[in-house]
Amino acid sequence: MGPGRQGERREDGVKAAGTPPQDKLLGLEIIRFVSALSVLVWHYQLFFHVGAGPVDFVRADQPFYGALRLFYEHGLYGVQVFWCISGFIFAWKYRDPVAARTVGPRTFFILRLSRLYPLHLATLLAVAALQSLYVARQGAFFVYQHNDLYNFVVQLFMASEWGFANGESFNAPIWSISVEVLVYGLFFAILRHVSRSPLVNVGVLLLCLAARRLDIHHPFVDCLAFFYAGGLASIGLEALQGTRLRRPLTLLAGALVVAVPLLLPDRVAQNRNLFLLAWVPVLLFVAAQPLRLPPRLQHLVAAAGNMTYSSYLLQFPIQLAISLALLGTGPAPLFYSPAFFVAYIAITLVAARLVYRFFELPAQRAIRRRFA
């Protein structure tokens, strides 16, 4: 999630030869924002926690449940979409430069960590401070209970999903980024020392599917599969640029994106993860086609895409701060209020925009000037 955003390209100075121009990724930014919104709505249920567990929670009574049912029930799958988008953009942006050794390991990882780490550290410290206030008043932490020194150190290294943590802690949604960082390392090593061939992507996908057949279930396997599936979609788009096949194949892909969920809903429900692994790359292939929008709308779409990482990491600290303020007031009825829901989403999105503009971007530029 988060890395490889459209707005980074000029700062990174990295672009693979023969890849589509920047304006063709506006469709991906729209999907990225919708996915971020789906995760935001999915996590709304955390408001109903007092301490470790939910109180008076009825899922179907949440605000605008009829309109947002898909997000309330399945919004957690937005993480898989983020992984797939990252794989798509990384293949587009880094596949040729890393394989040609024009981007070395130092530059690659500074570009990545400068994008991810400053906000991770800031939200980690914020949650640690807020949780200390919450546990002092409530006697238990808010939602995630393993907020000790050991897990704090694990979180400092973005290693919460590397097998070292002993439970969910602090700003727990960082788990998906923690896994993705490991995939970045493997992605770089394979490109630099093995091959840039699309057969590598196919091989990685087959290995991940084999792992599932052997009941090996780990977020790293899922992230790896979605990342390389997204990369395969990017490679396919690049291969079709300027050919007569691009338009008919795009139309066919678009038809499949719409038709499969409608015609095979039972199959989709039976194995959502495998369905998404096949469906999301096709969706990204279609969305990455040229999208002509008025300049102001292009700016709005780019801004929405840029703030998805901040909205993802800010949602829990904001919920924690609100829940801390409302402790002892019996807030459950308030959380079923449509007005409260709209206010919370608006606050989170505005905060995400401001944090991206006045903290994330300046910190990223400062680190890159200093080290890259």
Q: What is the domain extent for residue 129?
A: 6-371
Residue 196 inside a domain? The answer is: yes
Instruction: For residue 206, give Cα distances in angstroms to 65, 213, 219, 222, 246.
Output: 38, 10, 16, 12, 26
Q: What does the radius of gyration of the chain's CA atoms come to, in whole angstroms?
A: 21
pLDDT for the residue 24: 54
pLDDT tens digits, one per residue of 72-107: 999 999 999 999 999 999 999 999 999 999 999 999
How large a percentage of the chain has pLDDT more than 90?
A: 80
Q: What is the residue type of 334? A: L
Stretch 304-318: mean pLDDT? 96
pLDDT tens digits, one per residue of 326-372: 987 767 789 999 999 999 999 999 999 999 999 999 999 999 999 87
pLDDT tens digits, one per residue of 113-153: 999 999 999 999 999 999 999 999 999 999 999 999 999 99
Residue 348 inside a domain? The answer is: yes
Residue 1 inside a domain? The answer is: no
Q: Which range among 34-38, 218-222, 295-299 shows the weakest confidence by mean pLDDT?
A: 295-299
Residue 359 inside a domain? The answer is: yes
Q: How many CA atoms lie within 13 A of 267 on its CB side?
A: 11
How large a percentage of the chain has pLDDT more than 70?
A: 93
Residue 266 predicted with pLDDT over 90: no
Residue 61 inside a domain? The answer is: yes
Could you tell me if 35 and 295 are in contact, meaning their C-beta atoms sit under 8 angstroms apart? no
Ramachandran angles phi, psi of 161, nearest 5°: -120, 25
pLDDT for the residue 288: 93
pLDDT for the residue 25: 85
Give the model's confidence band at 263: pLDDT under 50 very low, under 70 low, under 90 confident, else very high.
confident
Could you tell me if 82 and 222 are in contact, meaning their C-beta atoms sit under 8 angstroms apart? no
- Which residues, at least 6 apart from 267, have a Cβ–Cβ distance to it below 8 Å? 275
Give the model's confidence band at 15: pLDDT under 50 very low, under 70 low, under 90 confident, else very high.
very low
Take residue 294 and report the two structure tokens written for it: 């008025």
Residue 365 inside a domain? The answer is: yes
Kindly state the DSSP code that residue 50 receives in the 8-state scheme: E
The SS3 assignment for 298 reads helix
CA 157 to chain centre: 19
Kindly state the DSSP code that residue 333 receives in the 8-state scheme: H
How many domains is the chain partitioned into structurally? Answer: 1
Residue 245 predicted with pLDDT over 80: yes
pTM for this model (two decimals): 0.91
pLDDT for the residue 202: 96
Residue 279 predicted with pLDDT over 50: yes
